Structure 1
């Protein structure tokens, strides 16, 4: 809600706010953007490490099966988004001034001052360390190190929920204020409106495909199964929260013939690791910005980005907009996004956050059907540690 208010206020006040006052928000954006550059590699390491270690400490065979299905679904969603961008963006976005529309810095106001905040490590270092420590904790059963990693995760989660997320609306406000001041507001918003609509439609098509596959494997009518999951979809649409939707998703999955044992295991786990709707939105927005900027995206780059993003979003923090926060450093490191382009991504993502969440949790029901069929309704009864994004 506050992100929408920030977008509207920033756009409107850019027409009347004097430059000296607008530079205050430009200065804040510079400071906050530098902090994000410093903080996000720490976020990646602190969240992915215990996530990987937790998977290794989980429910064995069916945990790995469920994780593999969820990751495959998330990654295939990203590949589909790349295919859609290659097929549709030349027709949908070519009529606009491509480079100017996302050149947010062009003619922008300068900040009053800047403070450099160099990161402790880059994104690849953070990911490699997370894998080394996460897998290592599993192999040597390092309970003390795992406990410490969970405490660091809690500190990072607290920083996100109490500092980063509350300040994001101001950051978005300053970004749209700057866009209005440098005169490319209309072009950018026009093009992103098209991409927003495409993203919503694409998530619905994605759900259809997921239930067609699940229905074929489980031997159930896919459309009827999807209809049974609609209460979960609309609950997530209203709350933008996978956590709040878990009881509804659990109930709907059982109505689709999934055993209580399997539903109780798969639904909470997939609320953490299955983010196909979020992947679809982030990928469509990212490839749109690169297309509008005139930057080609090769299949190798796109596939590498999607595969890494799928891993990164497993550690998405359990707060609104958590997936895009976890993904933002990959946008910079792999796709070369500027701070303002990342801010534009955050604004676009959060504007329709609930549609991605609704797609995620509804797709969890399809995965539950598949795991139920493969396990014969037994699944995994053990408890697993998880967080809900």
Structure 2
């Protein structure tokens, strides 16, 4: 998974670079070939997104729901609360930072109107078997139902379905994604917008990195207050986990280091051994921060209205839909892209830009996620010592 994740990033960087270069001199006839591929791939992606949601979310909710005890409930509540806090904090920061920061690029281009100049030769429509919201609701119903059953045949069926969906992501979508992104940037370069987009990318990445650092400071400040410990010392102790995640781009691969450093922060072995592996799968504050910030920036560029009510629902759904995403390379953005399209109205090109931005910053989001897991463990440990909580799992 580690090597695959790094390979994806490398391929997308190459795809963006080649798309920019070839778009400067590629004849329209050749460009339309890639536009045709993008049209077909986009239709296929729209078809698979509801299936991806079902395949990832149902097994995750089913297995999570089988746990028992106050420790599980408390950990899940804190992790989800942290994810929501990251999403809403990013929303308010982004709507105050990006309008002025991206004002020049907003005036220079309109993504929706201009990057479709290369028309495809043909398209093939794959009609989804259900829409995204129906898939989410169905996933919740089945997942919760499975959690109440023992030795369920349906649970085994969805475990097999998860293997199928993971294979589709790893063997079809991820390998073809660089070609799709190449076509998008070829199109933008052909229409003369690409350099403004690159400037946007650099600005967005800078802001998101700063927000990640601020989020970690807030998380460990809260943990320090609750546990009555020095927050800066707690955060510094977790730095090996942060830098390990930067290198591995994998929450799972970083668990041993995260666990080791959490124990050094004085968390009991029992609490750390339970919270860290669980949080690696359900705590996605860094990933949520990236997606919310990127979505707002791209919506500003396209002149789309940004309403708090719509974003509030989007952030709440995002935290749930990505529950099992860390187990699949690129899974977080794959699980989220359907919600982004349905709830925020993103078109195919905007979705491709979201995917490119997300993967370009994948290591930073992972590092923020796993480092924050250490703060959650400190909080859970402190609360279990203060209150009589059932710690049986």
Which TM class, normalised by the smaller chain length? Answer: over 0.9
Paired residues of 1:261 and 1:380 also in contact (CA < 8 A): no
The residue number in structure 1 matching 2:14 is: 5
The residue number in structure 1 matching 2:219 is: 210
**Which string of whole-angstrom CA distances, capped at 9 and with x for unpartnered residues, describes residues 240-279 of structure 1?**
1111101000100000011111111111111111010010
With normalisation by structure 1, the TM-score equals 0.94
Question: How far, CA to CA, are the matches of 2:42 and 2:56 in structure 1?
Answer: 20
**DSSP-derived class of the 1:103 partner:** helix
Question: How far, CA to CA, are the matches of 2:215 and 2:261 in structure 1?
Answer: 19
Which of 150, 164, 170 is the matching residue for 2:173?
Answer: 164
Paired residues of 1:101 and 1:187 also in contact (CA < 8 A): no
1:21 correspondence with 2:30: yes
The residue number in structure 1 matching 2:193 is: 184
Instruction: Note the 1:283-302 alignment, pairs <5 A.
Output: 283-302=292-311
Which of 66, 69, 82 is the matching residue for 2:78?
Answer: 69
1:30 correspondence with 2:51: no
**Which string of whole-angstrom CA distances, capped at 9 and with x for unpartnered residues, describes residues 219-255 of structure 1?**
1110000000000000000111111101000100000
State the aligned residue count: 382
The residue number in structure 2 matching 1:386 is: none
- Per-residue deviation, 1:105: 4.7
Paired residues of 1:261 and 1:381 also in contact (CA < 8 A): no
Which of 318, 322, 325 is the matching residue for 2:334?
Answer: 325
Which of 260, 268, 275 is the matching residue for 1:251?
Answer: 260
For the structure 1 residues 236 and 379, does the alpha-carbon distance in structure 2 shift closer, same or farther, using more than 3 Å as the test?
Answer: farther
The residue number in structure 1 matching 2:3 is: none
For the structure 1 residues 102 and 168, does the alpha-carbon distance in structure 2 shift closer, same or farther, using more than 3 Å as the test?
Answer: same
Question: How far, CA to CA, are the matches of 2:275 and 2:110 in structure 1?
Answer: 43
The residue number in structure 2 matching 1:113 is: 122
Paired residues of 1:265 and 1:381 also in contact (CA < 8 A): no
Question: How far, CA to CA, are the matches of 1:48 and 1:109 in structure 2?
Answer: 37
Question: How far, CA to CA, are the matches of 2:196 and 2:215 in structure 1?
Answer: 29
The residue number in structure 2 matching 1:387 is: none
- Per-residue deviation, 1:369: 0.5
Paired residues of 2:83 and 2:319 also in contact (CA < 8 A): yes
Which of 88, 91, 94 is the matching residue for 1:82?
Answer: 91
- Per-residue deviation, 1:103: 2.4
**DSSP-derived class of the 1:376 partner:** helix
Paired residues of 1:99 and 1:294 also in contact (CA < 8 A): no
- Per-residue deviation, 1:17: 2.2
- Per-residue deviation, 1:102: 2.1
1:49 correspondence with 2:58: yes
- Per-residue deviation, 1:116: 0.4
For the structure 1 residues 358 and 111, does the alpha-carbon distance in structure 2 shift closer, same or farther, using more than 3 Å as the test?
Answer: same
Larger deviation: 30-39 or 99-108? 99-108
Paired residues of 1:47 and 1:317 also in contact (CA < 8 A): no
Q: Please give the root-mean-square deviation of Cα atoms over the aligned residues, in Å.
A: 1.7
- Per-residue deviation, 1:96: 2.5
Question: How far, CA to CA, are the matches of 1:5 and 1:36 in structure 2?
Answer: 22
Question: How far, CA to CA, are the matches of 1:317 and 1:241 in structure 2?
Answer: 8
Instruction: Note the 1:229-248 alignment, pairs <5 A.
Output: 229-248=238-257
For the structure 1 residues 381 and 162, does the alpha-carbon distance in structure 2 shift closer, same or farther, using more than 3 Å as the test?
Answer: farther
Paired residues of 2:110 and 2:301 also in contact (CA < 8 A): yes
The residue number in structure 2 matching 1:359 is: 368
**DSSP-derived class of the 2:119 partner:** coil
**DSSP-derived class of the 2:346 partner:** coil
Paired residues of 1:262 and 1:381 also in contact (CA < 8 A): no
For the structure 1 residues 379 and 340, does the alpha-carbon distance in structure 2 shift closer, same or farther, using more than 3 Å as the test?
Answer: farther
For the structure 1 residues 336 and 26, does the alpha-carbon distance in structure 2 shift closer, same or farther, using more than 3 Å as the test?
Answer: same
Question: How far, CA to CA, are the matches of 1:340 and 1:151 in structure 2?
Answer: 32
The residue number in structure 2 matching 1:127 is: 136
Question: How far, CA to CA, are the matches of 1:320 and 1:283 in structure 2?
Answer: 20
For the structure 1 residues 359 and 2, does the alpha-carbon distance in structure 2 shift closer, same or farther, using more than 3 Å as the test?
Answer: same
